[in-house]
Amino acid sequence: MIKNYLKIAWRSLLKGKGYSFINIFGLALGLSCFMLISLWIRDELSYNHFLTDADRVYAVRINSLFNGEIQTGNMTPGPLEPALRSDIPEIEAVTKLGYAPNLLLSTENKSVKEVGWYASSDFFKVFRFKPLSGNPAQALASIDQIVITKTLALKHFNTTNAIGRTIEVDKNKVYTIGAVIDDIPENSTLQFAWLLNFKINEQDWMKTWGNNSFQTYVKLKPNTTAAQAMASMKNIYNRYQTDMKSTPILQPIKDIYLYGSYKNGQPDGGRIAYVHIFLLVALFILVIACVNFMNLATARSAKRAKEVGVLKTVGAPRKTLIIQFYIESLLTTLTAVILAFIFVWLFLPYFNSSFEKHIALSSSDPILWCGILVLVFFTTFIAGSYPAIFLSSFQPINILKGTFTSRNRGLKLDVLTIRKGLVVFQFTLSIFLIVSILVIGNQVNYIQNLNLGMDKENVLYVPLEGNLYTKSETFRQKAASLPSVVAASTVGMLPMNLQSTSNDLSWEGKDPNLQTATTVALVGYDFTKTMHIDIVSGRDFSIEHPADTSAYVINETAAKLMGMKDPVGKQINFWNGKQTIIGVMRDFHTESLHTPIKPLVLCFSNKENGYMMVRTQAGKLKEALTALSTLTKNMNPDYPFEYHFADETYEEMYKSEQQVNLLVRYFGALAIIISCMGLFALVSFAAEQRTKEISIRKVVGASLINIVNLLSKDFLKLVLGAVFIAFPLAFWAVNKWLNSFEYKIDLGWEIFVLAGAISLLIALLTVSIQAIKAALANPVNSLRNE
């Protein structure tokens, strides 16, 4: 019986090759898009899930009251870690991480820069990464040993059994390899090639409660909840620092990748929003492809009517017919799935490259095959349900008498009405995606071109290491004197992404209950000149004023916070003690545009800075790089010359937005193509059904425009209806996404007018191509048989 069903289904597909091709190819496109996005979503949801006891591991965040609002920071003070270890009974282990730039790791064979962390001794009690040789916990507890990963061991020693070997770090100190661990999985938010004991790099400023510069993680005891631990942590600041009203909270390690944003002390989205967007796009495309299937199946119902009538006359029960049509749907779906697999296999490398993933199709992955099985049956059911129920309900007596109509008496639905509804639904989704493409593209463009209050163009930065670190001011002066360089300044952290904050700011008349989560930046001479930041009043740090080394420069927001209309000359108490404000600079963005500009205090430092910012002469980048390379090699011969561009680093902050923009554009375009394929097929079928009518009209004098209008107007009305349905839905969705940005485009009517015009133009072109073809056909051929 199954064999007969398959034979009949295959013959049915071959009868209408053109329609079958559109069905299968459109469905394959939809399925391949759905599969690619599903693989991406699966990867996104997997971050940190590989960790042993991941359900008990949490990142510590700090809630602080600022201007009446709770602000949540990812960075914590150094003393918090020992306080949590000693005071909170619910905690089994706690560790803190100190940022380290890419350091040069050298052996006799090679020198390579690698990323790593300074971590406190309980790191491997919190994170149980797989050891390959040695004892990682014991090695990290020593200030003379280093823990490295498998790849780093193979790179330097060609073996993972590197225990006892030595490696020089930053041309400064030789460490013994105490342990080798397995490579960190790609889906880990912590990435490193080496670990050193935190105490090696510990300094006095790291021991203050007011400086939030470290990441802290805890592992709770079994059968302990985060709520219990947070209740115990609630007053920990008061025990050690009575003037700070800050509270530690816990975020599950499984959530930190997807839920990076907080509002009023609670998680408020992050990359999870993009997971939802991707999932929505995937479902839209799959539904559009299924709608094509349903539309074409119902459109061809008249041609299948006699077949159904004959089968029913010879005794075929309705159940048999339903099974037959579902078998046809299943065969179409399976063929489309095979084609979709080929598409995914071909495009996966490009997809991985575009979205910086390492996703692979594995034939041994049970989740993948279960997902495919569910997808096949889901698609078969959705795409084949109405055709199966509708076609099997035809009354044979009406069909064979020639009185068959397009009305299904059982369902009380007109076939034409169903088809119109499906076209409207299909184009509603497509127009929704067109609006999303325009809005997301405009917002990404706005981010990239927004005046940040500083000029990132023609600016590069050089990591300060080795002699460049110890002789940073000499290096700066020599770099600034190069003909192709406008200015240079050393900085502790990159000004495009300042995350360290301090609660230590105070001034005369300050409200003792006011919390001051102030961004702090260590900078050298000529910082504002190098970054083209306007000075509103006063001046920047100057080499001509030796006393500036203990002074402060603040931004406008900090001046407003302190209620100072003329801050220059007034004193504040901060990192360098009670010192004078010598300048006020115009506000500039130091973080993502998702967050508002915060109070900022510049502290002078020409030592222990991590980078040198260099502004080059416009059009003389090549000369500047050549000169800087020569200067660097002369001053720092043991290190390779390394540089990065400020604008590229800034754009890196908005990688998620750029990826969403890319995905919505590509997959949105595919959704529109699939919709147009379905519309093209429906117009073709309508033209085929009305061939004799068109021929008669042409014989009696109808023009080409009349014929095109006859076939086009009904479909264009449907698309216009979809426009008005899609606009409110799209407005709500994109407005919600835009609200995640503190600085965003205005959502004006122009975008919706453009989206409507694009959708109508695409539909008009699609319909007109087939309508013109039908109108140009020779009427003699169709009337010859009459």
pLDDT of 192-214, one tens digit each? 999 999 998 888 778 888 788 89
Range from 115-119, 686-690, 732-736 that averages highest in pLDDT: 115-119
3-state secondary structure at position 516: coil
Taking the C-alpha atoms of residue 655 and residue 644, their distance in angstroms, rounded to an integer, is 17
Give CA–CA dist 352/435, Å, rounded. 26
Q: What is the token pair recorded at 305? A: 């009517």
Task: Report the DSSP pairing between strands 577-585 and 552-555.
Answer: parallel
Residues 153/131, Cβ–Cβ less than 8 Å: no
Give the residue among 257, 250, 202, 208 at the shortest CA–CA distance from 225. Answer: 250
Closest CA to 225 of 55, 85, 76, 61: 55
Coil, strand or helix: which one is 555?
Answer: strand
Give pTM, 2 decimals: 0.76
210 membership: H or E segment, kind and range: none
Partners of 96 in beta bridges: 216
Distance of alpha carbon 740 from alpha carbon 619, whole angstroms: 37
Name which of 275-279, 283-287, 409-413 the model is least confident about.
409-413
Pairing of strands 577-585, 266-267: unpaired
Question: Residues with Cβ < 8 Å from 397, sequence gap 6 or more?
Answer: none
Considering the chain, what is the average pLDDT of its residues?
A: 81
Is the pLDDT reported for residue 301 higher than 70? no
Top-confidence residue, 148 or 21: 148
Identify which of 80, 76, 67 has the alpha carbon closest to the alpha carbon of residue 241.
Answer: 80
pLDDT confidence tier of residue 95, bands split at 50, 70 and 90: very high
Percent residues over pLDDT 70 in the chain: 83
Check pLDDT > 70 for residue 10: no
Nearest to 547 by CA among 491, 602, 508, 604: 604
Helix (H) or strand (E) holding 399: helix 396-401
CA–CA gap between residue 649 and residue 591 (Å, rounded): 12
The percentage of residues in the chain with a pLDDT greater than 90, rounded to a whole number, is: 25
Question: What is the reported pLDDT for 583?
Answer: 92
Which residue type does 173 have? K
Contact status, residue 521 vs residue 498, Cβ threshold 8 Å: yes
In sequence order, the β-bridge partners of residue 523 are 491, 604
Question: By the 8 A CB rule, do 140 and 121 touch?
Answer: yes
Q: How confident is the model at residue 124 (pLDDT cuts 50, 70, 90)?
A: very high
Q: How far apart are CA 178 and CA 148, in angstroms?
A: 8
Tell me the three state secondary structure of residue 589. Answer: coil
In this predicted structure, what is the pLDDT of residue 177?
94
Q: How far apart are alpha carbons 249 and 209 in whole angstroms?
A: 16
Phi, psi (rounded to 5 degrees) for 404: -65, 135
Strands 506-507 and 485-491 turn out to be unpaired
> Over the range 343-370, which residues count as b (16 or more CB within 10 Å of their CB) and which as e?
bbeeebeebbeebebebeeeeeeeebee
Q: Indicate the pairing of strand 600-604 with strand 518-523.
A: parallel
Residue 622, pLDDT above cutoff 60: yes
pLDDT tens digits for range 715-756: 778 888 888 888 998 898 888 888 877 778 888 888 888 888
Most confident of 83-97, 253-267, 411-425: 83-97
Residue with more model confidence, 175 or 578: 175
Are the beta carbons of 678 and 295 closer than 8 angstroms? yes
With 90 as the cut, is the pLDDT of residue 296 above it? no
Token pair of 523 as six digits = 């900078």
529 in Cβ contact with 489 (< 8 Å): yes
Question: So what's the pLDDT on residue 305?
Answer: 60
CA 529/CA 535 separation, integer angstroms: 9
Query: How many other C-beta atoms can be found within 10 angstroms of the C-beta atom of residue 14?
Result: 9
| pLDDT tens-digit series, residues 480-517 | 999 999 999 999 888 877 777 777 788 888 877 777 77
